[in-house]
Amino acid sequence: MKDLGAPLLFRIMEKRKKKRLREPNPFMGPPLKCAGRLRQIMTRHYYLSRFAKGARPVAWVTSGAPVEILRVFGFYTIYPENHGALCGAQKMGPELCAEAEKKGYHSDLCSYARIDLGHAFSGKTPAGRLPRPDLLFASNNICQTVLYWYKQLSHQWDIPLITFDTPYNFQEIRSGDIHFMVRQFEEMVPELEKISGRKYSHKRFQKIIRIAAETSRTWGQVLAAMKHRPAPMTIFDAFVHLAPVVSLRGLPVALEYYRVLLNELNERIEEGIGAVREEKKRLMWDNIAVWFKLRDWSHLFAERGVNFVAATYTNAWAETIHHLTEESPFESMAKAYSLIILNNNLSHRLKLMEKMIRDYQVDGLVILSLRSCKPYSVGQYDLKRLLMERLGIKSLIIESDMTDFRTYSEEQARTRIEAFLEGLGV
């Protein structure tokens, strides 16, 4: 399947894609060459997952969970949030959300959760088929919703759920918090051995930590390449190229891919090739991507010479990676995973955004207010006000959902965007 089936499926998908391609946008620079490699990697990942059951233990994992510990035991990992983004990009969000709503789940619930539950109830997915998990692995460092969502799946399928509980950082992380998290990792080991049927190997764990840390560091270098003028790619590109560091972190394929991507970006910088043909203004994005609008918005902003060069969302998989070390894997994982943006106080987030605005020479800020992701959206109006007062940065707030376009108003969003761009002078 790995050597014959996946490449055949990829060739078929490439032929279909070529038929659907629209005319290139004259305001955008040349597309990234390694985008084809990314499609191949992710297509192969979802394709092979169909045959993982029985061959390897399967785990469904939340995006903020410390997946490295699962890699030690050979789990094939699926990320429902990544799958939700795929469904959103394929404009299947409302259809799958409706499947969950039929079962009584409220439309105010996170659309990633509704998509995943809708898939569980109906089996519908643009990925063909997802394997039934042997384990659910969740962390509350991104939100509390994932815990209730995974508890529902655990109850429905009668499978174990392991939760990594990260104390919220109101000020600074405390030694007692680190000890609490380390003890959780230690208690996970015998459970994971039992579920997977494989023994824990500290040497293998250290190797996985080393690969994961280097992958995230390389991803950070990819993002840092956009500090250059003109930026060699856009945040809309980064939203797509984020997939391996989320879904395949700790595996060599993700590290190899980001090295290829970084080399291509460095070549662009040397040759003066920008993602937008005439970069006049540079913006920062706050919150998750609006997956069903990526292409439209990338074109809309590029036509005005505007490029998004930074985002708090993409930065989250690089921000705390300096804590992760193979010398003390449990302690370092506790720090790396508990200090991420959504598990930290708003003062930290404000300082982070101020630094990114300066480092990336940002002219304006676009904030997405999401009904689905309340932890990410809380405090945004205060952050907007404070950033305007401190840095004089022009800001725009757009209301939408990341996948469920039933809550999105094209006319309202377009009017706000046009007014914002006029205010920027483009």
State residue 17's pLDDT score: 52
Does 333 map to a domain?
yes
Question: Confidence band (pLDDT; 50, 70, 90) for 8?
Answer: very low
Are 372 and 385 in contact by the 8 Å Cβ rule? The answer is: no
- The burial of 175, by beta-carbon neighbours within 10 Å (0-12 exposed, 13-18 middle, 19 or more buried), is given as exposed
The percentage of residues in the chain with a pLDDT greater than 70, rounded to a whole number, is 94
DSSP H helical ranges for 243-394? 243-247, 252-271, 294-302, 312-315, 329-338, 346-359, 374-377, 380-391
Mean pLDDT for all residues in the chain: 93
Phi-psi region of 213 (alpha: psi -120 to 50; beta: other; left: phi over 0): alpha
pLDDT mean over 177-182: 97
Does 4 map to a domain?
no
Are 318 and 351 in contact by the 8 Å Cβ rule? The answer is: no
Answering whether pTM is above 0.85, one says yes
Are 52 and 58 in contact by the 8 Å Cβ rule? The answer is: yes
- Give the model confidence (pLDDT) of 262-306 as tens digits: 999 999 999 999 999 999 999 999 999 999 999 999 999 999 999
Does 206 map to a domain?
yes
Does 18 map to a domain?
no
Does 16 map to a domain?
no
Does 6 map to a domain?
no
**DSSP-assigned states of every residue in 149-166:** HHHHHHHHHT--EEEE--
State residue 418's pLDDT score: 96
Position 4 pLDDT exceeds 70: no
State residue 14's pLDDT score: 53
State residue 79's pLDDT score: 96
Domain hosting 354: range is 23-424
- Give the model confidence (pLDDT) of 101-151 as tens digits: 999 999 999 999 999 999 999 999 999 889 999 999 999 999 999 999 999
Q: How far apart are CA 399 and CA 407, in angstroms?
A: 9
Position 20 pLDDT exceeds 80: no
- Give the model confidence (pLDDT) of 228-242 as tens digits: 999 999 999 999 999
State residue 54's pLDDT score: 86
The count of domains in the chain is 1
Q: Identify which has the larger pLDDT, 338 or 128.
A: 338
State residue 47's pLDDT score: 93
Does 13 map to a domain?
no
State residue 25's pLDDT score: 79
Q: How far apart are CA 213 and CA 207, in angstroms?
A: 10
Give the amino acid at 223.
L
Does 145 map to a domain?
yes
Are 249 and 216 in contact by the 8 Å Cβ rule? The answer is: yes
